Chains A and B, each alone.
Chain A
Amino acid sequence: MSLAYYPGCTLKTKAKSLEEPAIASMEVLGFKLEEITRWNCCGAVHSLADDDLIHQVAPVRNLIRAREQGKNELVTLCSFCFNTLKRANLLMKANAEKRNTINSFMDDEIDYSGEVKVVHLLEVLRDEVGWEALAQKVKLPLRDLKVAPYYGCMLLRPREVAIDSVENPIILRKLLKALGATPVDFPESTRCCGSYQVVSDPGVISAYAWNILSSALSHGAEALVLTCPLCDYDLGQGQKELVKKRAEFRGMPIFYFTQLLALALGLDPQVCHFELNYGNTESLLREKNLLP
Chain B
Amino acid sequence: MSVTISPKRLGSEFVKKVKELSGENLQLCYQCGMCSGVCPAASNMDLSPRQVIELARLGMQDEIAESKTVWICASCLACTVNCPRGFDLSKLMEAIRLLTLRKNVDYVKPERIPPEERDDIPQIAMVSGLRKFTG
Partner of A157, one of B23, B80, B129, B130: B80
Docked-complex contact B128 and A166, CB < 8 angstroms:
no
- CB neighbors of A among B63-83 (8 A): 71-72, 74-78, 80-81
A196-B74 CB under 8 A given contacts A45-B132, A49-B98, A204-B44: yes
Most buried by B among A191, A196, A198: A196
> A9 interface residue, CB < 8 Å from B?
yes
Most buried by A among B121, B122, B129: B122
Docked-complex contact A230 and B74, CB < 8 angstroms:
no
- Can you pick out 7 interface pairs between chain A and chain B where the beta carbons lie within 8 Å of each other? A45-B128, A45-B131, A50-B21, A158-B77, A200-B107, A211-B40, A230-B124
In the complex, per-residue mask of B110-135: 1 if CB is within 8 Å of any chain A CB, else 0: 00010001001111111111111100
Closest Cβ of chain B to A237, distance in Å, is 8
Docked-complex contact A49 and B107, CB < 8 angstroms:
no
Docked-complex contact B113 and A159, CB < 8 angstroms:
no
Partner of B21, one of A51, A166, A199, A211: A51
Partner of B75, one of A9, A14, A195, A232: A195
B interface residue numbers (CB < 8 A to A): 20-23, 40-41, 44, 71-72, 74-78, 80-81, 88, 90-91, 93-95, 98, 107-108, 113, 117, 120-133
Docked-complex contact A233 and B71, CB < 8 angstroms:
no
- CB neighbors of B among A202-229 (8 A): 202, 204, 207-208, 211, 229
> A41 interface residue, CB < 8 Å from B?
yes
Give A83 to B120 CA distance when docked, in angstroms: 23
Collect the chain B residues with CB atoms within 8 Å of residue A194's CB: 41, 74
Docked-complex contact B94 and A49, CB < 8 angstroms:
yes
Docked-complex contact A233 and B78, CB < 8 angstroms:
no
Main secondary structure of the interface of B (DSSP, over half): helix
Partner of A191, one of B40, B98, B126: B40
Collect the chain B residues with CB atoms within 8 Å of residue A190's CB: 78
A interface residue numbers (CB < 8 A to B): 8-10, 13-15, 41, 43-45, 48-52, 55, 78, 80-81, 153, 156-159, 166, 190-192, 194-200, 202, 204, 207-208, 211, 229-230, 232-233, 237
Docked-complex contact A153 and B124, CB < 8 angstroms:
no
Closest Cβ of chain B to A156, distance in Å, is 8
Collect the chain B residues with CB atoms within 8 Å of residue A233's CB: 121-122, 125
Docked-complex contact A8 and B74, CB < 8 angstroms:
no
Give A191 to B40 CA distance when docked, in angstroms: 7
Q: Rank and list the top 10 A-B pairs by shortest CB-CB distance, nearest first.
A: A199-B129, A50-B23, A192-B76, A48-B94, A157-B77, A196-B129, A195-B74, A44-B127, A9-B123, A44-B128
Partner of B128, one of A13, A195, A204: A195
Collect the chain B residues with CB atoms within 8 Å of residue A232's CB: 122
Collect the chain A residues with CB atoms within 8 Å of residue B129's CB: 196-200
Give A182 to B101 CA distance when docked, in angstroms: 47
Collect the chain A residues with CB atoms within 8 Å of residue B128's CB: 44-45, 80, 195-196, 199, 230
Most buried by A among B20, B40, B71, B91: B40
Docked-complex contact A230 and B122, CB < 8 angstroms:
yes
Partner of A80, one of B76, B95, B124: B124
Closest Cβ of chain B to A274, distance in Å, is 18
Give A196 to B130 CA distance when docked, in angstroms: 9
